[in-house]
Structure 1
Amino acid sequence: MRFILHYPETNGTERDMLEAGPIDEVAAAAERAGFDAIALTEHPVPGAKWLETGGHQSLDPFVALGFAAAATTRLRLMTNLVVAPYRNPFLLAKAAATVDKLSGGRLILGMGTGYQKSEFFALGVDLAERAALFDEALDVLPLHWAGEPFSYQGLHFDARNVVARPKPVQDPIPIWVGGNSGRARRRAAQKAQGWLPMMAPPEVAVTAQTMAITSREQLATLIQGVKDEAAAAGRPGPLDFTSSYNDAALASAPTADADRHREQWAELEKIGVNWLIISCHSTSREQTFDFIETFGGTYLS
């Protein structure tokens, strides 16, 4: 099992975006503690009503991960998630390739279709087109990263005999598709390198406009389905499967009930999960660094 530290999110509108600690210092501490990756989410312009009811702000993930890359040497750099339809796919590809190049090949590109209506409206993106725009991105990214001339006709663009550099270090940059729907799972199986399901209760799944996954047994069945579809499509190599471990007790006291956590992680590993996203819900620099050090000493050393 490999562990991803999710940089603590900033809820509401009043808190400082770096209240949980400087990105470079948090990333360096996570690397020292034995974490395998650090992750940041994306919300470029969230709705005020959503923020007032528990939503969160975010830094630009590519800028922040580039900053983290300069402070680390081994730590993988993950977007969790970028909303692919928000960007022209060439700009998305360029940002991803730049971070991968500068970091020596450490980016993991977690991508989702998005669900925040207010953000779609503010960015001028048609919510009804989000699925088609996501599929365009899956087509364009490998073409862009190949560093060779290509053409592609999209819904709102026409790329004619273009070529882009830098080529990323990784071939390809791993794309992990987020979302629980059958369409998301098919994308992961047929065109990506991993699946990033959202483990959430039904009320949260409704807000995110996705299917709820509420049990380990259900997740096991879905993971096997993705594996089977990838095999049927003749995809080479194993896929990565990621799960968020949202345990309030762990977030507040990492050393408490350690055996129970290890047992749950072992059960997840048995069904195919090989990456876990760990959150600490910190509201201060001290809390963040204490959590990272304690978690590392308890589970990663």
Structure 2
Amino acid sequence: MATQVTSKTPVTANTDEPVQNKHSFGFWLREYGWRHLVGVVVVIYALVPIIYIISASLNPGGTLTGSNQLFQKIDFENYQRLGGTRFWHWMGNSLVIAISVSVGTVLMAAAAAYAFSRFRFTGRRVGLTSLLIIQMFPQMLAFVAIFLLLLNLGDVVPILGVNSTLALIAVYLGGALGVNTFLLYGFFNTIPKELDEAAKIDGLSHGQIYWQIILRLAAPILSVVALLSFISTFGEFVIARVVLQQEENWTVAIGLYSWVASRLDANWGQFAAGAIIASIPILLLFLFLQKYIVGGLTAGAVKG
């Protein structure tokens, strides 16, 4: 019986398209280069105002028009003048308020989120819905109502009236409670409830479970909440300007604004110097804790 041998000839595709060289500049530009170009443009766009305000802070003239030529004059006179003002006192007030709000926000929001996540009680769903609706409205829309409320409350409890730092902290805490509670609520839902049950078998109470287990596991998201609360509170101006009226109680944002509020006596050089120094705490804190931001926010963005 004859065996027929067939030869298989490889078929090559006959295409007229030229083969792209992966080492060519055109290929690199289409695949990767445009991303670098976009990144460079964004960095330049962000650095231009920073460089300009640094140049203005080193200009002894005190005007922004005199700073159009960057670093034409370099003098630290504006920084030296800060020692003769209340700037450092305002910085201290801002730090006290921001740190207090950060710590208070973490404690209050974590406790509320743990209750919504672990307990089933009457009004739970209504409470979550109310927080969701309330946080849709910016806090500054209610600054007139806040002023009138503090004005009347000061007649009964002076420490919580207008021009009180404690009153301003309470206002900030109320505004930050809703969004941070939802953020922590989503994160707590990702923690298995079996841990709670195992801890109860070992004899731990709800308080011990909360402080010794839940909060330790939620350390990344708690750091994010504290960081965002500090940043948003440290430079807030509208509500702080309404509540705080005496100069000794001002925050750094109000104090810097007072230097340029009058067009005739505006000292933009001193304002720029103070703004640069005021940005240092936020910059250092952000650089130190930025690794927690993406991980904490994505972990908290879980539907409960």
The TM tier, using the shorter chain, reads under 0.3
Relative contact order (C-alpha < 8 Å, sep 6+): which is higher?
2
> Bigger radius of gyration, 1 or 2?
2
1 or 2, which has the higher helix percentage? 2
Using the size of structure 1 for normalisation, the TM-score is: 0.23
